[in-house]
Chains A and B, each alone.
Chain A
Amino acid sequence: MFLNSGNSTVNKIYQSLQATKELMVSSLIYGEEFTGKKSLIKQIFNNSAWVDGENLKDVKTALELNSHIVITNFEKVNNLDILEFENVNIVAIYNGKTYNKILENKFAFIYYMPSLIEREEDIELFKNHYTKEAKEIFDVTEDINIEKKDLDISKNLKSLKSSIFKTILFKSVQKEDLTYVMFNYFLKHYEGNNVYKEQLELFEKALIEAGLQIYGSQLKLSEILGINRNTLRKKINEYF
């Protein structure tokens, strides 16, 4: 699904490509993976024939049979010379931050899709969109505040979505969910002769870390936990 971007470059790309829809021209859109290139093209060229660039034979056949064609994963096309671009409307989606001279000479129009880091306004837009989606999926009704530090845009929309889903999932988890998750984890990690001590960390580390965040002082926390101050200090030294 394509959201109306808040970024002016993306909007200009959309308008320009929209104007090529009825022309017999070739356009290349390039940029990092998961920047929304495919969604944007789908919005305009949904009725074109779509073909994966990985299979050159399919691309060649599609070019012979169709007047409008979208080629995905164009970076995987290994022999451009055999592709005939005359009298066909082509949009090629290319995953990569640069393109070479051969591509430059092959295509009529070339567009660079900015990465998410270059589209600050879109991060907020997609954050809200994915948050809503995740809350619906996980049936969360309460307000969940997702902080900037929780967002991962290293792989653009893919990592952003994943980080939001994880955050919402983790923040909405119930006691029985935790027990279930730990049960499954233990099923796979029940080896050796020191399992109790080794796996206790899973519980203790998180418990102490959260307590320190809430109460700040170790003295107060030891009171709340109902354990000796020296025992707490020993565990902190062990885990952190």
Chain B
Amino acid sequence: MNTSNGIDYSFLLEVDNNPIIVFNYEGKILYLNSSAEILMSYVKPKEIFKLAVNNAPSVYGTKTTQIELSYNQLKFYAVNVSYNSDDWIAIRLYYRPRDKRINKKSSHKGEILTDINLLLDVAITQFKIGSSTDIRLVTDQDIPKTLLNQNSFSKLLRKCLNSFKVASFVDIELKLGIGEHIIIDEQRYPLIILKFISNGRHCNEDSEIKLLSEEMFLVSNLNENSIEIEIPLINK
């Protein structure tokens, strides 16, 4: 643990929304945070290493370059490359804040103000019954309540978690998406982001996860080892 004054900086890197990857001089990954793990399911490390080298400062230090990048649904507007040794080079990619539009037609069937942390807690407790998968949860307990259909959302949580039954661990992260918004019926709402990252997953119920998300006007990104759900924060 890299600590100074009792602060765990590696934790801060780990939970950063933006992908951070550190390579050695040969392009071998020395470190990547959880957000970078998702990125790596869309792009080869070699390509990101090349991007880092091409945008590196000419001398030891750091350099930010505005650049439009797109890897599947992941969009970035800038990269920051840093190094102070010939042994390693780090790159951080900045997510482009998204403006998504959904026409919800004011349908709020069964939606009530909900503390997502509570539902997540129950879903995890239930998942742990008869499962040896190790669950590590990083959550923002202060996320405001949002309008949700609790029954459908709980079903979605169960199905997401069940897809990780084969995995030895699941890292779950729940936080507010900084600078990310969604437009529903011409109204702009911040996003709550729920991520599940693991080392293996059953994908046979993905169509049901997609369908449930769509029914609730949520955006789901499903990958080989991860699931990301974007939930609009609506509390009015």
Interface residues of A (CB under 8 A from B): 9, 12-13, 15-16, 19-20, 23-26, 85-87, 105, 107-112
Complex interface residues of chain B between 112 and 138 (CB less than 8 A to chain A): 112, 118-119, 121-123, 125-126, 128-130
Bound CA span A220–B30, Å: 87
Interface residues of B (CB under 8 A from A): 109-110, 112, 118-119, 121-123, 125-126, 128-130, 149-152, 154-155, 158, 208
Which single residue of chain B is at the shortest CB-CB distance from A26?
A: B151
Residues of chain A lying within 8 A (CB to CB) of residue B119: 23, 25
- B139 → chain A, closest Cβ, in Å? 15
Q: List 8 A-B pairs, Cβ < 8 Å.
A: A12-B128, A19-B122, A26-B151, A86-B110, A87-B112, A107-B155, A109-B158, A111-B126
* Cβ A23 vs Cβ B122 within 8 A: yes
Residues of chain A lying within 8 A (CB to CB) of residue B158: 108-110
Bound CA span A20–B151, Å: 11
Residues of chain B lying within 8 A (CB to CB) of residue A112: 129-130
Of B125, B149, B152, which contacts A19 at CB under 8 A? B125
- B228 → chain A, closest Cβ, in Å? 21
Which of B128, B130, B155 has the largest number of chain A CB atoms within 10 A? B155
- A21 → chain B, closest Cβ, in Å? 10
Residues of chain B lying within 8 A (CB to CB) of residue A110: 126, 158
From DSSP, what is the main secondary structure of chain A's interface residues?
A: mixed
* Cβ A86 vs Cβ B149 within 8 A: yes
Residues of chain A lying within 8 A (CB to CB) of residue B126: 16, 109-111
* Cβ A85 vs Cβ B125 within 8 A: no
Bound CA span A108–B151, Å: 6
Bound CA span A209–B150, Å: 65
* Cβ B150 vs Cβ A12 within 8 A: no
Bound CA span A148–B129, Å: 29
Of A13, A23, A24, which contacts B129 at CB under 8 A? A13
Residues of chain B lying within 8 A (CB to CB) of residue A86: 109-110, 149, 151
Asked if A85 meets B151 with Cβ closer than 8 Å, knowing A9-B129, A16-B129, the reply is: yes
- B155 → chain A, closest Cβ, in Å? 5
* Cβ A20 vs Cβ B129 within 8 A: no
Residues of chain B lying within 8 A (CB to CB) of residue A109: 122-123, 126, 154, 158
Bound CA span A13–B158, Å: 15
Asked if A23 meets B128 with Cβ closer than 8 Å, knowing A86-B110, A109-B158, the reply is: no
* Cβ A111 vs Cβ B122 within 8 A: no
Of A12, A24, A108, which contacts B125 at CB under 8 A? A12
Bound CA span A183–B149, Å: 66
Asked if A25 meets B112 with Cβ closer than 8 Å, knowing A15-B125, A111-B126, the reply is: no
* Cβ B122 vs Cβ A24 within 8 A: no
* Cβ A23 vs Cβ B123 within 8 A: no
Asked if A19 meets B151 with Cβ closer than 8 Å, knowing A109-B158, A111-B126, the reply is: no
Of B110, B122, B149, B155, which contacts A20 at CB under 8 A? B122
Bound CA span A29–B112, Å: 25
Residues of chain B lying within 8 A (CB to CB) of residue A107: 155
Bound CA span A105–B121, Å: 20
- B127 → chain A, closest Cβ, in Å? 9
- B136 → chain A, closest Cβ, in Å? 19
- A5 → chain B, closest Cβ, in Å? 13
Bound CA span A85–B150, Å: 10
- B130 → chain A, closest Cβ, in Å? 7
Besides A9-B130, A19-B125, A23-B122, 15 other CB < 8 A contacts? A9-B129, A12-B129, A13-B129, A19-B118, A20-B122, A25-B119, A25-B122, A25-B151, A85-B151, A86-B110, A87-B112, A105-B155, A108-B155, A112-B129, A112-B130
* Cβ B118 vs Cβ A23 within 8 A: yes
- A228 → chain B, closest Cβ, in Å? 64
- B29 → chain A, closest Cβ, in Å? 38
Bound CA span A107–B154, Å: 9
Of A9, A16, A87, which contacts B122 at CB under 8 A? A16
- B213 → chain A, closest Cβ, in Å? 14
Residues of chain A lying within 8 A (CB to CB) of residue B125: 12, 15-16, 19
Bound CA span A85–B152, Å: 10
